[in-house]
């Protein structure tokens, strides 16, 4: 029996249709969230500022995060963002080790800042998954 499992089709579609029209199919796995939360760093001037989440997985887990700053120059929330404005870099450098998730915010703009006026706070909203990268 090669075709078995659970399928739920999108409204207006049948489960006999292609996978892309399924809300759920057990043919494919889900990413499993271990934790979610928020972090913040105070960006006081040009430099790199970081925050970490400790996990006890013992391997490199997958993750995703979004960023927002306050005072808000825009209401957008950014996925891993990296930009170069003329000669200054504004970006997020995030990575996972076997014990932590580190999210770093870099702004090399001279005072008073080009992305936002110093000081400002960068907030990070993250999901950490059980799924291993290795």
Partner 1 sequence: MGNYGAKISRPGYDVKTCSNTQLIFSSAFETMNVAVAGTSSKTNSSGSNADINFTITHGLSFAPYILMFYKLSSSSSYWNIHPGGPYFLSDDGNHANAHHIEVTSSNVVVKFFYMPDGETIDIKYYIFNVSL
**Residues that bind partner 1 in the complex, under the rule CB under 8 A:** 8, 10, 18-20, 22-25, 27-31, 60, 62-65, 79-84, 87, 91-98, 131, 133-134
1 versus 18: smaller Cβ distance to partner 1? 18
Report the distance separating Cα 106 and Cα 65, nearest Å.
15
44 versus 48: smaller Cβ distance to partner 1? 48
Q: Write down the least CB distance from residue 123 to partner 1, Å.
A: 17
Q: Write down the least CB distance from residue 107 to partner 1, Å.
A: 15
Q: Write down the least CB distance from residue 57 to partner 1, Å.
A: 12
Q: Write down the least CB distance from residue 44 to partner 1, Å.
A: 24
Lookup: tokens for 31: 């990413």
42 versus 82: smaller Cβ distance to partner 1? 82
Report the distance separating Cα 108 and Cα 49, nearest Å.
11
DSSP state of 78: B
Report the distance separating Cα 2 and Cα 29, nearest Å.
17
110 versus 119: smaller Cβ distance to partner 1? 110
Report the distance separating Cα 116 and Cα 111, nearest Å.
10
72 versus 133: smaller Cβ distance to partner 1? 133
Q: Write down the least CB distance from residue 53 to partner 1, Å.
A: 13
Report the distance separating Cα 7 and Cα 103, nearest Å.
37
Question: Could you tell me which of 98, 109, 19, 102 has the C-alpha nearest to residue 60?
Answer: 98
């Amino acid at each position: 029996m090669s075709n078995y499992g659970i399928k739920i089709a999108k409204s207006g579609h049948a489960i006999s249709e292609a996978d892309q029209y399924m809300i759920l199919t057990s043919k494919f796995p889900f990413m499993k969230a271990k934790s979610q939360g928020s972090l913040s760093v105070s960006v006081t001037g040009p430099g790199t500022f970081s925050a970490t989440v400790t996990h006890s997985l013992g391997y490199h887990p997958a993750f995703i995060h979004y960023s927002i700053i306050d005072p808000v120059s825009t209401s957008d929330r950014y996925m891993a963002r990296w930009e170069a404005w003329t000669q200054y870099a504004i970006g997020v450098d995030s990575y996972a080790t076997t014990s932590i998730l580190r999210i770093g915010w870099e702004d090399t703009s001279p005072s008073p800042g080009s992305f936002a006026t110093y000081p400002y706070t960068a907030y990070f909203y993250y999901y950490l998954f059980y799924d291993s990268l290795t």
